[in-house]
Amino acid sequence: MVAWNQAPFGRYYINTVVLVIIILVGQLVLSTLAAYAFARFKFRGSGIAFALVLLQLMVMPDVLIVENYRMIGKLNLLDTIPAIALPYLASAFGIFLLRQTFKSVPQELVEAARVEGAGPNGEPLYAASWYREPYEDELRGYLSTASGPGWALIACRTVPNFRVEDCIAIDEWPERSNLARAVLAASWQFRVRPPIFRGQPQVGQWVRIRIDYGLRKK
């Protein structure tokens, strides 16, 4: 007890907990958002921006002590817990690790979990993710009966072995081009991944499939 009374250790403990919570929440939010943006969105200068983030890993923290002190002083935060936490709210290493994690998840799985509307009876209608996209030769015989160029949109129920059935037409362009009817006739050979929900494939759910027809009927 004598040693415990030599300093306000209780206050030290509380300050440490508060500091860790502030830094943890800040890095979790900022690093996750930044990493997702770098992994999933393509924008002008994204490569340069990510290189600048990685460049921070090469800067020794000691080099920034004086500049950080001046900035904290301008914010009137000297001798406060936020003053200690602010320089560590964003982590270049955390952004790098989370970016690599996001990029390891196939984009097809992300799209398979996106709801695109409602099915025939009000069920969720998910964006289709191809297990094997049909070849042009497989579609040409069906699409040759339609007028193109254009597109057709159909909804199908997923079944085992990446197959679909019970397909219905949703829309087509141009109107009365028979593209939707042609795609429905060809749907027996479509191989589509079932939607993903909480990491599990949802066989039996409905997916939306779009086929673009770029060849004019001769």
What are 61-110's pLDDT values in tens digits?
A: 888 889 889 999 999 999 899 999 998 888 899 999 999 999 887 766 66
The single residue listed with the structure tokens 């069920």 is 123
Q: What is the mean pLDDT of residues 26-34?
A: 93
User: What confidence score (pLDDT) does residue 215 get?
Assistant: 47
Q: Which CATH number fits domain 4-105: 1.10.287.40, 3.20.20.120, 1.10.3720.10, 1.10.10.10?
A: 1.10.3720.10
In this prediction, residue 153 has a pLDDT band, given cuts at 50, 70 and 90, of very high
* Half-sphere exposure (Cβ direction) of 82: Cα atoms closer than 13 Å: 7
Task: Provide the mean pLDDT of the chain.
Answer: 87
User: What confidence score (pLDDT) does residue 119 get?
Assistant: 77
Q: What is the mean pLDDT of residues 167-176?
A: 91
Nearest alpha carbon to residue 154 among 131, 125, 183, 127: 183
Q: What is the mean pLDDT of residues 169-178?
A: 90
- Asked if 127 and 207 touch (Cβ cutoff 8 Å), the reply is yes
Nearest alpha carbon to residue 127 among 211, 40, 210: 210
Which phi and psi (to 5°) does residue 163 adopt? -95, 170
> CA dihedral defined by 175, 168, 145, 127, rounded to 10 degrees?
80
Helix axes 9-40, 92-104, angle to 10 degrees: 40
**The CATH number of the domain covering residues in 108-213:** 3.30.1150
Name every residue whose Cβ is closer than 8 Å to that of residue 158 and which is 6 or more positions away in sequence: 164, 192, 194, 195, 202, 203, 204, 205, 206, 207
In this prediction, residue 179 has a pLDDT band, given cuts at 50, 70 and 90, of very high
Q: What is the mean pLDDT of residues 165-187?
A: 92
In this prediction, residue 216 has a pLDDT band, given cuts at 50, 70 and 90, of very low
Domain boundaries, the chain: 4-105, 108-213
Examine the pLDDT at 9 and tell me if it is beyond 70.
yes
Percent of the chain exceeding pLDDT 70 equals 93
